[in-house]
Copies of this chain bind each other. A is one copy, B any other.
Amino acid sequence: MQRRSFLKKAALGAAAGGATLAAPAFAQESPAISWRLASSFPRSADAIYSGGENVAKYVSEATGGKFQIRAFPGGEILPALGVLDGVQNGTVECGHTASYYYFGKDPALCFDGAVPFGLNTRQYNAWVRHAGGLQVLRELFAKFNIVNFPCGYTGTQMGGWFRKEVKTVDDLKGLKFRTAAFAGAVLMKLGVVPQQIAGGDIYPSLEKGTIDAAEWIGPYDDEKLGFHRVAPFYYFPGWWEGTLQVSLYVNKDKYEALPKHYQAVLDQASALATNTMIATYDAENPNALKRLIAEGAKLRAFPKPVMDACYKAAQETYAELSAKDAGFKKIHDAYMGFRDHEIPWFRIAEGSFDQYMASAAK
């Protein structure tokens, strides 16, 4: 053990208190630590919110209760969209959030969460776990004094709820659409008027007609907010979120002060929380979609010309952001290079199997 590391651990043990008296040898190597985790998500969005709660639970279980993390829903100890700031400045030790919320700080942060026409879940996992993606993202987050961990996926999201059908590209003109910032920037090129509205305010805005359409996540979360009752046309796919990679943010100083095995536990607990979250979405979305359709939701695919126009607008947006920001361009090129490496392969074994099963099974 290096002296500096030992001193840090001793200080942590002393700060945590108590355990050092009962079991000095153990406390020294596995100090009692108590952290707070600020989530960006409401408790009601339980599949995504529980990603943070599960990390806390798994970390406690893997350390015999020595490393405790208490999770708080969005807005309780930090504003829902204030998680990056709060972790960066050490108000909380860690947070659970979606990196595209911070598009305004640095649009490159979106590559940690979701970008238009980006990676799907399997491809994201491959990029971060085997193809250098995590290293690229960690370099970016180091500027914010944060160590990031992939901590959940939603799968491909839905395209949202529309009061009227979208039959042509022209139907997008003047459409007041609640969506995330990056998708909004792309859609503005097609005449959409993007709206930033907190989750709880979407329903009344749709009902009153203040907005024409809104996207949230997918059937399991959308159902709880009741959008289908006021905007029945349910479009797919949400091309701005081929998946959402949800992240655990850890304050870099706090992370580096942890014993090495607690650092490892954070990574492994996040991996299990990742698999639990995508499992929840994949298992629960079909049930929710059936209920929504029974209650009047009308499923619609975005027409191909609309998809093509959005794809073109996304390429223009990427080119503009890359032209004015070398940092953005670097991550963009790595991310899109990996996407273009993956897609031809995914067409073959995986794609043909899935398509056959879609036609053959009940």
* Partner-B contacts on A (CB < 8 A): 22-26, 29-30, 58, 61-65, 117, 120-123, 125-131, 155-159, 218, 236-239, 242, 259-261, 264-265, 267-269, 271-272, 274-276, 278-280, 282-287, 289, 299, 301, 307-308, 311, 338-358, 360-362
Chain B residue numbers with a CB within 8 Å of A285 are 345
List the 8 closest A-B pairs by CB distance, nearest first.
A129-B279, A23-B25, A126-B282, A286-B345, A61-B264, A271-B272, A130-B279, A237-B353
Do B360 and A237 touch (CB < 8 A)? no
Chain B residue numbers with a CB within 8 Å of A130 are 276, 279-280, 282-284
Do A358 and B349 touch (CB < 8 A)? no
Do A340 and B354 touch (CB < 8 A)? no
How many copies of the shown chain assemble into the complex? 2
Chain B residue numbers with a CB within 8 Å of A353 are 120, 156, 236-239, 242
- A319 CB → nearest B CB, Å: 15
Complex partner residue of A279 from B25, B126, B272, CB under 8 angstroms: B126
In the bound assembly, the distance between CA atoms of A63 and B260 in angstroms comes to 9
Complex partner residue of A268 from B122, B123, B268, CB under 8 angstroms: B268
In the bound assembly, the distance between CA atoms of A126 and B155 in angstroms comes to 12
In the bound assembly, the distance between CA atoms of A354 and B341 in angstroms comes to 14
Complex partner residue of A238 from B63, B347, B349, CB under 8 angstroms: B349
Do B62 and A348 touch (CB < 8 A)? no
Which of A62, A239, A285, A358 is the most central at the interface, judged by chain B CB atoms within 10 Å of its CB?
A62
In the bound assembly, the distance between CA atoms of A65 and B287 in angstroms comes to 44
Complex partner residue of A29 from B64, B236, B341, CB under 8 angstroms: B64
Which of A23, A130, A238, A267 is the most central at the interface, judged by chain B CB atoms within 10 Å of its CB?
A130
In the bound assembly, the distance between CA atoms of A269 and B237 in angstroms comes to 34
Complex partner residue of A117 from B157, B289, B346, B360, CB under 8 angstroms: B360
Query: What are 9 sample pairs from A and B whose C-beta atoms fall under 8 A apart?
Result: A22-B25, A58-B264, A129-B280, A130-B283, A156-B353, A236-B348, A242-B353, A265-B268, A268-B268
Answer whether A126 and B348 are a contact pair too, CB < 8 Å, given A62-B268, A261-B63, A358-B343.
Answer: no
Chain B residue numbers with a CB within 8 Å of A29 are 23, 26, 64
Do A64 and B268 touch (CB < 8 A)? no
Chain B residue numbers with a CB within 8 Å of A358 are 343, 346-347, 351
- A93 CB → nearest B CB, Å: 19
Chain B residue numbers with a CB within 8 Å of A58 are 264, 268
Do A289 and B348 touch (CB < 8 A)? yes
Q: Which residue of B lies closest to A22 (CB)?
A: B25
Do A349 and B237 touch (CB < 8 A)? yes
Do A360 and B311 touch (CB < 8 A)? yes
Complex partner residue of A339 from B22, B63, B346, B361, CB under 8 angstroms: B361
Q: Which residue of B lies closest to A218 (CB)?
A: B349
Q: Which residue of B lies closest to A287 (CB)?
A: B341
Do A157 and B269 touch (CB < 8 A)? no
Chain B residue numbers with a CB within 8 Å of A131 are 279, 283
Do A349 and B236 touch (CB < 8 A)? yes
Chain B residue numbers with a CB within 8 Å of A279 are 125-126, 128-131
Do B354 and A346 touch (CB < 8 A)? yes
Q: Which residue of B lies closest to A121 (CB)?
A: B122
Answer whether A260 and B362 are a contact pair too, CB < 8 Å, given A125-B275, A268-B271, A348-B299.
Answer: no
